[in-house]
Structure 1
Amino acid sequence: MSVSNHENRKSRSSSGSMNIHLFHKTSHADSLLTQLNLLRKRRVFTDVVLRAGHRAFPCHRAVLASCSRYFEAMFSGGLKESQDAEVNFHDSLHPEVLELLLDYAYSARIVINEENAESLLEAGDMLQFHDIRDASAEFLEKNLHPSNCLGMMLLSDAHQCQRLYELSWHMCLANFASLYRTEDFLNLPKDKVQELIFSEDLEAEDESVAYEAVIDWVKADVGRRLGDLPELLRCVRLALLPETYLAPLPVLSGLCLLSCSWGVHTPQ
């Protein structure tokens, strides 16, 4: 179309009124994503390759940067990856999980289930697919149970999922009497054991549960944890323990704790 033809048509149709029509194709966004996904699968116009494990995923930088602040910063900043044709995650990201995130980026759809929810939460947080992180956390909230609440507490704490953390935390406290002998509890870091034992909301019949939890946790790796015992026992209300727990105190891995700094001594 020539410029003059367009100008002539404008003058013929001009009536001085504001007679306009807005055309909006509601399916355009979905159609665009579908076409971009087809281009990705055919490796057309792809300008970066993501690698995880032994798999390679050709992608479009613009699509990745639009979905993830992680990729936006990587491709627009002065990082080495902004110029590289490949980004290699090595073994820090499972290829099946990366594939799910990429399918979401190009389709706005993802299936979250019991097998992939935790991995998607971790990867979504790592690559700043925050909507995937939050959707995975919501799925895990609905599937929270005493059998997994200790693990969910650690996972949500590491990835800033506040609601999942609070729900997990309260479930841990409410079910502590049945949890403290489990492998999940014995593998907790010291700071979490300390927080649980010290909490005023800990539900237990008496203080002996907290005391036994500390002793069992130390016994699980006595070589590394014996030095943590005095600090942990300061969180136990020793005055509320039955007398049988204090005289004599239990022997821990053949070592008699004769003079601990927490202020209770075995009889001579």
Structure 2
Amino acid sequence: MGHFTMKLLNNGNRLYSIKHEHGQLKMFTQMNEYRLRDLFTDVTLKINDQNIRAHKVVLSAGSSYFASMFDSPLIESKLDEIDMTKTIPCPMALNWIIDFIYNSSISLNDKNVLPLLTCSFCLQLDSLSNMCISYLADQLHSSNCVGVLLYAKQYQCEQLETIAQNYVYNHFEDVVRNEEFLNLTASDLYNMIRDDNVKVKCESIIYNAVMQWVRHDPIKRRSELEGLLPCVRLCFLPPSFLEHAKCDEIYGTDDMRKCQEYLSQVYNKLTSHKYCRLPPRRQPIKPLVI
């Protein structure tokens, strides 16, 4: 007979509310079968050389983007063919998303999660966006967190940006050993190392990370040191470290004179014990409690 729930609404009139527990699921399952058989479909989504048949009412129920499109005076609301090529950056992802709208389930992996997340933003599919963000959060690692962070900034996904940024800042020493860190732009690196929330055991980790980044492409990046060095809190390093740093061959040319002078200035203040205004210390790494 199926599964039903009964709720008494009015005891005097013996009035009950009866609900089929799986009725909605069964309806969408049936609609998907109709879609696959091209029954009662009323719209074709075109992307490159693909034609995807669907029902406007189902697309509208699953996506705010489609709901706005079909319930508007725009010409698309009357068309039975919609070109999605300029809207969806990944053609294959559109197939996966239409399946998700009908079935409420999807398979995520490292290869499809970012294309799906991008398309879910375009189609205003909050439920799928949240699933993709949750997946990425669970898969964060020192080797991929920078890429996820930059992606989140590009698409203005604040929730994912916060998650990825916290991971980068909490695992900075491991992050700098990976290729993604070396491929940061100067602007991204600047914003990262100037943040108070970066957690390191010693400021030397920040300095060495900057130098590692510069040496990855020294011809193009040497000139960025003048802006990056002040973001390193050199005053928290021992004078012996700075004395050794000044001798680095990277500072040996005329175009690096300002950087060498800056290092010498900090070194002289530390060794002469003169008062200098200190920036705030970075947050220490919390010990792991087992």
Task: For residue 225 of structure 1, report the CA deviation from its aligned partner.
Answer: 4.3
Structure 1 residue identity aligned to 2:121: D
Match of 1:6 in 2: none
List runs of 5+ in structure 2 lacking aligned partners.
Answer: 1-11, 266-290
Cα offset, 1:223, TM superposition: 5.6
- Written as runs of structure 1 = structure 2, the 5 A alignment for 1:52-131 is 52-84=47-79, 85-89=81-85, 92-131=88-127
Cα RMSD for the two superposed structures:
3.2
Specify the alignment match of 1:247 in structure 2: 246
Tell which deviates more after alignment, 235-244 or 60-69: 235-244
Deviation of 1:144 (Å):
2.2
Report the CA distance shift for 1:163/1:262 in structure 2 as closer, same or farther (over 3 A): farther
Question: Alpha-carbon deviation of 1:70?
Answer: 1.6
1:243 maps to a residue whose letter is: L
What is the alpha-carbon distance in structure 1 between the residues aligned to residue 20 and residue 126 of structure 2? 28
Give the match for residue 179 of structure 1. Answer: 175
**TM-superposition CA deviations, 1:222-249 (whole Å, max 9, x none):** 5654553322222112334413344234
1:230 alignment partner in structure 2:
226
Instruction: Tell me by how many angstroms 1:103 deviates.
Output: 1.0
**CA deviation after TM superposition for structure 1 residue 251, in Å:** 1.7
Change (3 A) 1:144 1:96: same
SS of 1:93 mapped into structure 2: coil
* Contact 2:87–2:122 under 8 Å retained in 1: no
Tell me how far apart the structure 2 counterparts of residues 58 and 29 of structure 1 sit (CA, whole Å).
Answer: 21
Supply the distance in 2 between the matched residues of 1:189 and 1:59 (Cα, whole angstroms).
Answer: 43
One-letter amino acid matched to 1:109: S
Give the structure 1 partner of residue 42 of structure 2.
47
Deviation at 1:193, TM superposition (A): 1.4
Q: Give the SS at the match of 2:198.
A: coil
SS at match of 2:141: coil
Q: State the 1:102 CA deviation.
A: 0.7
Amino acid at match of 2:258: S
Post-superposition offset of 1:38: 1.9
1:196 partnered with 2:196:
no
Matched residue SS, 1:234: helix
In structure 2, the CA distance between the partners of 1:21 and 1:177, relative to structure 1 (3 Å rule), is closer
Whether contact under 8 Å (2:62, 2:101) holds in the other structure is: yes
Q: Percent identity?
A: 28
Contact 1:156/1:165 (<8 A) preserved = yes
